[in-house]
Amino acid sequence: MKDYLNINEAAKVTGLSIPTIRAKLAKGLLPNASQIAEGKRKLWRIPFNDLIAAGLIDKTTPSDQDKADNRASALELEVERLTTELEHTKELLRRADEQIEDYRLLYRGLETRQVQEQRRSLWQRLRG
């Protein structure tokens, strides 16, 4: 998080409107804020700590970095969960492949029996 914010950034961080931030500056509630000249315009530099001291930001509000870290942790957990699910799915697929191979072998055995029966029948007719 930056040490100094402009009015737009301060409004975003606090959740207040830009006119409200300007009113706080006009009332002197942000005592360490200063204006700097940038071309023909003057921009406000508002210390982040002034926003906290004025009660506009809760110190315990997570920073952008904390939010990113939390999001990264959540994504890592999701990746771990999905990896486990993928491994489980691969195991189920392996078992299904084994069953398919068993059925193929069984079918081949049945096919062989049919051929054997046809041969027996043919020999019985020839002999008999």
In DSSP notation, 98-111 reads HHHHHHHHHHHHHH
pLDDT in tens, 14-62: 999 999 999 999 999 999 999 998 888 889 999 989 998 999 886 655 6
Over pLDDT 70: what percentage of the chain? 93
Residue with tokens 């005592």: 31
Q: What mean pLDDT is predicted for residues 67-91? A: 88
Long-range contacts of residues 66-69, Cβ cutoff 8 Å, at least 24 apart: none
Cα–Cα distance between 13 and 11 in angstroms, integer? 6
Give yes or no for residue 108 having a pLDDT over 90: no
Between residues 59 and 124, which one has the greater pLDDT? Answer: 124
CA distances from 91 to 70, 77, 86, 96, 98 (A): 32, 21, 9, 9, 11
Mean pLDDT across the chain:
87
Q: What mean pLDDT is predicted for residues 90-102? A: 94
pLDDT of residue 60: 59
Give yes or no for residue 9 having a pLDDT over 70: yes
Pick the CATH number of 1-61 from 1.10.287, 3.40.50, 1.10.3470, 1.10.10: 1.10.10
- Residue 48 C-beta-side C-alpha neighbours within 13 Å: 11
Q: Are 1 and 52 in contact (CB under 8 A)?
A: no
